[in-house]
Structure 1
């Protein structure tokens, strides 16, 4: 029991010490205006360094990630088919695909799939 307590104590203590040392060593001592400004070949930037982010691109990226994860969930369904009851397999597969199609229809209906407006 004592070994377990000491290992837990060490596992919490060591990362805390490393984080404290890293925090104190990583502090910048001088904040220079020129060093913190955007660098564009030695000239003043022609436009703002913080350009607005396209929400359309963000929506397409999120939809891609969602459907990418769903494809990863669909792939094992084919392997499971051999070992499970065909009726239950068909019902669960159709239910899952129906949820995917409803989500796709919702995104399409909301206009998230339009590339240009």
Structure 2
């Protein structure tokens, strides 16, 4: 039994994986311990104090619209679509009809997602008042 385990082709990768998991968790525990020992807990007054000659700091609510987030997600969606279309276009003749049908289904799926986002109003820009 030990002969089979010692000669397994993936034994080295498994050992490296286990060591990586152990080192990662040890680093997290050590970082958490050190940061809690070194952190100052009374910094709220310092954060709100005036720096040199600037105005007094006031806390403001977050006024960033979620519309930015939705537009970014749609940008990534269509950016990934283009990234997948380039290799397909290069090997179009090699893939034949199977590749053509795959790309049609891919574009159809993304079109359904686009129509869903459009119907939900993700493409309409709402002004903050």
TM-score using structure 1 length:
0.70
Match of 1:43 in 2: 55
Matched, 1:67 2:78: yes
Bigger mean CA offset, 59-68 vs 88-97: 88-97
Cα drift, residue 38 of structure 1 = 7.9
Equivalent residue, structure 1, for 2:31: 22
TM-score, structure 2 normalization: 0.65
Query: Any idea what the Cα deviations from partners look like across 1:31-73, whole Å, max 9, x if unmatched?
Result: 232224487764323551x413311111111111111112211
The 1:69–1:38 alpha-carbon spacing in structure 2 relative to 1, beyond 3 Å, is: farther
Query: Partner residue of 1:107?
Result: 117
- Displacement of 1:77: 0.9
- The answer for the alignment partner of 1:82 in structure 2 is 93
Q: Secondary structure at the match of 1:77?
A: helix
Could you tell me whether the CA contact under 8 Å between 2:67 and 2:122 is conserved in 1? yes
Q: 2:71 touches 2:122 (CA, 8 Å); kept in 1?
A: yes
- Unaligned runs of 5+ residues in structure 2 are none
Distance in 2 of aligned mates of 1:77 and 1:10: 39
Unaligned runs of 5+ in 1: none
Structure of greater relative contact order (alpha carbons < 8 Å, 6+ residues apart): 1
Post-superposition shift, 1:80? 2.1
Determine the C-alpha separation between the residues in 2 that align with 1:47 and 1:7.
48
